[in-house]
Amino acid sequence: MKALDNIKILDFTHVQSGPTCTQLLGFLGADVIKVERPGAGDATRTQLVDVQDADSLYFTMLNHNKRSLTLDAKTEAGKQVLERLIKTCDVLVENFAPGALDRMGFTWAHVHELNPKMIMASIKGFGPGPYQDCKVYENVAQCAGGAASTTGFRDGPPLVSGAQIGDSGTGLNLTIGILAALVQRARSGRGQRVQASMQDGVLNLCRIKLRDQQRLAHGPLTEYSQYGEGIAFGKTTPRAGNDSGGGQPGRILKCKNWENDPNAYTYFITQAAAWENICAVIGKPKWKKDPDYATPAARLPRLNDIFTTIEAWTKTKTKLQVMEICNPLNIPVGPILSMQELAEEESLRKTGTVVEVDHPVRGRYLSVGCPVKLSDSEVEVARAPLLGEHTEEILCEVLGYSADEIAAIKESGGV
Ligand code: COA
């Protein structure tokens, strides 16, 4: 038994944001029917191709645990199949450009009329407002949601993050909305509209930066490095480099072999409670009681000096040695792990966070499994479907069309 057994998802998503949501629902046991345009399919199938003639990793890593049905929603026969899908499924998920679904004739009013229990979930770049009609991709959302303006170093340009917070982050929000709507439907008997904007999703993850924006009205942000360096604050939350957002000074420091390895670094937090242990470990026992170093306030103007001294120590150890030494002393540190290291990490394989999947065209590949673990709903990661692989199976088994009807729909170009 799986958490979402018997829940049918009409997956009308493409690229990254929507597919991450429906993939998660699939991991949790839902029957996800991905509807794709005949002949082309999700554009990511042919983007960043590494193995000739095989669906790209971009596609396969975002579309596990789904079945693929090819359907032309702009033909009469295709629309009829789509209507039957809407009447049969529990949730419709889509992330088309604003207005695209309406132009196909499937407005929320029409969908709700066809199936009052249907939950219709959408991702758009922006919510209602001046930008509501814009098409939006990951980095646009990171820039419009406050992440880019607060990421990077003060003296450099805004930066986007490697984490796909706009796409995969919003996919998570949509999943939460869908699950809540399913719970509510069990009581009310009614479906509802669930909407998530990528700008909202990014801003939600930048909550502490909006906190800092308001704190600026009451004085400088003392935990930012620029405060200790005597650099004045402007009118808006500045970029804070690698400072930690929690108020405890932290930096990324070089470790042994940093000259040759771009990831030989550790994050190091000078947590107030661990100060005496830090002094002991870096060979500065006198700093424990020295009034210039003993309190967090005294340390603020000396952070460059302090971190340079700590780095002189971390440079003598590998990033994993730093972790082994500091963890038992309650000094929070984090090795900068590369993608290669994560791919090879045994413990992540054991928990199913990194999985190896077999694919009939590309062979074996690595993917990220379900990031949340349920004790009573085991996740089995199934490879992404080939384009239209399950068209007949779905028409016959899910929608109940006869062989003659299927032949006629195919003949008309509907599927
Ligand atoms: N049958 C018939 N037509 C189909 C179809 C199908 N099965 N699937 C898609 N289409 C059509 C759409 O109806 C649309 O036609 P229209 O422009 O005539 O209305 C067309 O394909 C293109 O869809 P669109 O969503 O506009 O794709 P795009 O490649 O131009 O834009 C995005 C891509 C991602 C920018 C856009 O979909 C978007 O902004 N989505 C919302 C935000 C989002 O999720 N962004 C993150 C993506 S990772």
- Interval 64-122: pLDDT, tens: 999 999 999 999 999 999 999 999 999 999 999 999 999 999 999 999 999 999 999 99
The answer to whether the beta carbons of residues 1 and 154 sit under 8 Å apart is: no
Q: Which own/partner contact pairs does 297-306 have at CB distance under 8 Å and 24+ positions apart? A: 299/249, 299/270, 300/222, 300/223, 300/227, 300/228, 300/249, 301/228, 301/230, 302/228, 303/225, 303/228, 303/249, 303/251, 303/270, 304/225, 304/228, 304/229, 306/249, 306/270
* 361 CA distance to ligand 1 middle (Å): 27
Look at residue 247 in the predicted model and tell me its pLDDT.
84
Candidate list 55, 72, 90, 167, residue with the active-site label: 167
As a whole number, mean pLDDT of residues 381-400 equals 98
- How many CB atoms sit inside 10 A of residue 336's CB? 16
What percent of the chain has a predicted confidence (pLDDT) above 70?
100
* 100 CA distance to ligand 1 middle (Å): 7
Active site residue 167: yes
Q: Is the pLDDT of residue 198 over 90?
A: yes
* 124 CA distance to ligand 1 middle (Å): 11
Pick the residue whose CA is nearest to atom 11 on ligand 1. Answer: 100
- How many CB atoms sit inside 10 A of residue 190's CB? 13
* 123 CA distance to ligand 1 middle (Å): 11
Q: What are phi and psi of 266, to 5 degrees?
A: -135, 150
The C-alpha atoms of residue 103 and residue 85 are separated, in whole angstroms, by 18
Q: Is the pLDDT of residue 326 over 90?
A: yes
- How many CB atoms sit inside 10 A of residue 250's CB? 22
As a whole number, mean pLDDT of residues 312-323 equals 98
Alpha-helix runs per DSSP H in 232-329: 275-281, 296-299, 303-314, 319-326
Q: What are phi and psi of 270, to 5 degrees?
A: -90, 65
Closest ligand 1 atom to Cα of 123: 44
Confidence band of 191 (pLDDT split at 50, 70, 90): very high
Residue with tokens 């009581």: 187
As a whole number, mean pLDDT of residues 224-229 equals 90
Ligand 1 within 6 A of CB of 137: yes
Look at residue 273 in the predicted model and tell me its pLDDT.
95
Pick the residue whose CA is nearest to atom 20 on ligand 1. Answer: 100
Ligand 1 within 6 A of CB of 134: no
Closest ligand 1 atom to Cα of 125: 42
The C-alpha atoms of residue 32 and residue 325 are separated, in whole angstroms, by 47
The C-alpha atoms of residue 33 and residue 248 are separated, in whole angstroms, by 47
Ligand 1 within 6 A of CB of 120: no
Look at residue 228 in the predicted model and tell me its pLDDT.
87
Q: Is the pLDDT of residue 246 over 90?
A: no
Closest ligand 1 atom to Cα of 38: 7
- Interval 351-390: pLDDT, tens: 999 999 999 999 999 999 999 999 999 999 999 999 999 9
Alpha-helix runs per DSSP H in 189-255: 198-205, 207-215, 225-228
Ligand 1 test: best mutation among 96, 197, 409, most atoms within 8 Å of CB? Answer: 96
Give the pTM. 0.96
How would you label 100-127 residue by residue, b for 16+ Cβ within 10 Å and e otherwise? ebeebebebeebbeebeebbbbbbbbbe
Pick the residue whose CA is nearest to atom 35 on ligand 1. Answer: 135
Ligand 1 within 6 A of CB of 97: yes
Q: Are strands 8-12 and 333-335 parallel, antiparallel or unpaired?
A: unpaired
Residue with tokens 């008997």: 189
* 309 CA distance to ligand 1 middle (Å): 53
In the numeric block, which tokens belong to residue 54? Answer: 């095989």
What percent of the chain has a predicted confidence (pLDDT) above 90?
98
The C-alpha atoms of residue 354 and residue 365 are separated, in whole angstroms, by 10
In the numeric block, which tokens belong to residue 274? Answer: 């661990």
The pLDDT mean for the chain works out to 97
The answer to whether the beta carbons of residues 13 and 36 sit under 8 Å apart is: no
* 391 CA distance to ligand 1 middle (Å): 21
Look at residue 286 in the predicted model and tell me its pLDDT.
97
